[in-house]
Chain A
Amino acid sequence: MAMMMPTYDLARFGAERMSFSPRQADCLLVCGTISKKLGPVLKEIYTQMAEPKWVIAVGACASSGGIFDTYSVLQGIDKIIPVDVYVPGCPPRPEQILEGFMQVQALSQSESLRRRDTPEYQNLLESYGID
């Protein structure tokens, strides 16, 4: 939350408009712990996003389950959706999240335009069961 505010402004990097509808968003930031109950909801949101899309897993809990090795916590969102950038930390400092965001910008510059047609990408999505 603090990273969007004046001191660590995320808007400098082009992320001014927090779009609350996944259909109009380019980048999905998953912050915080995801429990198994929320897993299907997260997958639904990911499939609603239109290509090109990137996913940043913010925090230790989203990356790998974090300190919560319990029966109810999903041990990392990469179990259900493909992730581009992992930002560790519990909680990550605003500067770390900005760095993660800048890495997404670097990825978007270096990848080919038709990423969705490459066979590796198709195989990746199939392994998650997203078609």
Chain B
Amino acid sequence: MKDNELSNILSQYDSKEQIDGQLYTLNLGPTHPATHGIFQNILTMDGERILHSEQTVGYIHRAFEKISERRNFAQITTLTDRMNYCSAPINNIGWHMTVEKLIGCEVPKRVDYMRIIMMELARIADHLVCNGVIGVDTGALTGFTYVFQDRERIYEMYEQICGARMTTNMGRIGGFERDFTPKFHELIKDFIKNFPKRFEEFCILLERNRIFMDRTIGAGPISAERALSYSFTGPNLRAAGVDYDVRVAQPYSSYDDFDFIIPIGTAGDTYDRFMVRQQEILESYKLIKNAYENLPEGAFHADVPDFYLPEKADVYTKMEALIYHFKIVMGETEIPKGEVYHCVEGGNGELGFYLVSDGGRSPYRLHFRRPCFIYYQAFPEMIQGSMISDAVVTMSSMNVIAGELDA
């Protein structure tokens, strides 16, 4: 407990009886439906107003950084998609780009565009869930059910390219494991044609809804200076007014071929975060449409035989393919020594990977810069003095995902 802060609050009361009578400690405990995740908030309240809060995290800590010192580079992809599991492809592709930076591999243009399509689909899925959940926390349950229909369609597209729905393990170092199948082309054309109308149905439920606006405007504000001091990134920072987006500041994977705007808010409150995410969904949709219409022809993976498993038919007939397959699976490939930091724009902000390699088959040290962990520490400041229902809505609008919080 931060003693000096709590004792400042308690010193405003005259006697211990008054403190015991007026102040109330509420344990918004680790398993609580409103928190959409497993983290604990102990709130000291005066009636409905929150005076002080203290958080405990780490209830789903799975020691990813220690595990990754044991796994080789391809196996770590399965860990990355369990961090922000609502937008797993972004984590996977970010990790692959980090390794490609380490080994100095250039990927073909087609791979870049395919990556953009998958990452933006993941971003739409993440933002849809977050906005649906903000609706649920204000009592609007219907919007959540609309949103899940679109998520199912996005899951079907993931299944076409990698076989899994949520923990995708998508792509390989150097590209993808298979090209877009004909069924994928059908699904994405249907998505491009029909998504705006379906999204419009969700928008008109909440965006200019009187009750929703009254609930969310002014709930959990944060100013741009405080947000920058807390190292916020992503939609939460953009809602506070700072237009920082990793896709624009340091373009990766050919994002600089495309034109898209960065929506920003003004007050940094829940309504701004909701609207920033709504607008980002539309921008992602435009990116997907442009990337798909201009998808270049070419190979769907780079020519890195040391890291990319060869075709099985070649492994059984050609000698070089057999040797490469053996070396990759047994971990005999030479990996350069060095340290690299690469970041991508995840669903919640700048997701960074700091990789230190000593030449062995697994990293010497891998550190994930997880945006959720970093911005969740500002939560007590954001809810100071507000009511508990505002605190719940603020927490869901920050899109705190427990997998990324604890890693």
A touches B (Cβ under 8 A): yes
Across the interface, do B145 and A90 meet the contact criterion of CB distance under 8 Å?
no
The reply on B66 being an interface residue by CB < 8 A is yes
Q: A103 near B: Cβ within 8 Å? A: no
* CB-nearest residue of chain A to B59: A38
Cβ contact of A6, chosen from B66, B67, B148, cutoff 8 A: B148
Interface check A116, CB cutoff 8 A: no
Distance A93 CA – B144 CA, assembled complex (angstroms):
20
- Asked if A70 meets B59 with Cβ closer than 8 Å, knowing A7-B148, A38-B38, the reply is no
Contact yes or no, B31 A72, CB < 8 A: no
Per a CB cutoff under 8 Å, which of B59, B78, B165 touches A93? B165
Looking across the interface, which residue of chain A has its beta carbon closest to that of B147?
A: A5
Measured between C-beta atoms, what is the minimum distance from A53 to chain B in Å?
16
- B186 to chain A: closest CB distance in Å? 19
Docked-complex contact A35 and B59, CB < 8 angstroms: yes
Residues of B within 8 A of A45 (CB): 31
| Minimal beta-carbon separation of A38 from chain B (angstroms) | 4
Known A41-B30, A67-B78; judge A7-B61 contact (CB<8 A): no
Tell which of A5, A33, A37, A71 touches B145, judged by Cβ atoms closer than 8 Å: A5
Instruction: Say yes or no: A70-B167 contact (C-beta < 8 A), given A2-B148, A35-B61.
Output: no
* Chain B hits for A37, CB < 8 A: 58-59, 61
> In whole angstroms, how far apart are the Cα atoms of A35 and B60 in the complex?
5
Which of chain B's residues has its CB closest to A20's CB?
A: B33
Q: Mark A89-108, 1 if CB is under 8 A from B, else 0.
A: 01101000000000000000
Chain A interface residue count, Cβ-Cβ cutoff 8 angstroms: 25
Chain A facing B: main interface SS:
loop
Q: Are A91 and B166 in contact (CB under 8 A)?
A: yes
**Bound: A72/B66 CA distance, A:** 11
CB distance from B68 to the nearest CB of A (A): 11
Q: Is the beta-carbon distance between B63 and A68 smaller than 8 angstroms? A: yes
Q: Is B380 an interface residue (CB 8 A)?
A: no
CB distance from A21 to the nearest CB of B (A): 9
In the complex, A81 has a CB within 8 A of chain B: no
- Which A48-101 residues have a C-beta within 8 angstroms of B? 67-68, 70-73, 90-91, 93
Contact of B60 among A6, A32, A91 (CB under 8 A): A32
Is A72 a contact of B33 with CB atoms below 8 Å?
Answer: no
A16 to B234, CA, bound (A): 35
- How far is it, in angstroms, between the C-alpha of A49 and the C-alpha of B163 when the chains are bound? 38
With A38-B38, A41-B29, A45-B31 already in contact, the answer to whether A73 and B62 are too (CB < 8 A) is yes
B149 CB within 8 Å of chain A:
yes
- Chain B residue numbers with a CB within 8 Å of A32 are 60
Closest to B32 in A: A20
**Complex-state Cα separation, A91 to B167, whole angstroms:** 7
Residues of the B chain whose Cβ atoms lie less than 8 Å from the Cβ of A42: 31
Question: Which residues in B have their C-beta under 8 angstroms from that of A90?
Answer: 167
Give the complex CA separation of A89 and B119 in angstroms: 25
Please list the 8 inter-chain residue pairs (A to B) with the smallest Cβ-Cβ separation, ordered nearest first: A5-B148, A20-B33, A70-B63, A38-B59, A68-B62, A72-B61, A7-B152, A72-B63
A interface residues with partner B (beta carbon < 8 Å): 1-2, 5-7, 18, 20, 32-35, 37-38, 41-42, 45, 67-68, 70-73, 90-91, 93
Question: What 16 new A-B contacts, CB under 8 Å, besides A18-B33, A41-B30, A41-B59?
Answer: A1-B148, A2-B155, A5-B149, A7-B149, A20-B32, A35-B59, A35-B60, A45-B31, A68-B62, A68-B63, A68-B67, A71-B66, A72-B61, A73-B63, A91-B165, A91-B166
What are 30 sample pairs from A and B whose C-beta atoms fall under 8 A apart? A2-B148, A2-B165, A5-B145, A5-B148, A5-B149, A5-B152, A6-B145, A6-B148, A7-B152, A33-B62, A35-B58, A35-B62, A37-B61, A38-B30, A38-B31, A38-B59, A38-B60, A41-B30, A42-B31, A67-B78, A68-B62, A68-B63, A70-B62, A70-B66, A71-B66, A72-B61, A72-B63, A73-B63, A91-B165, A93-B165
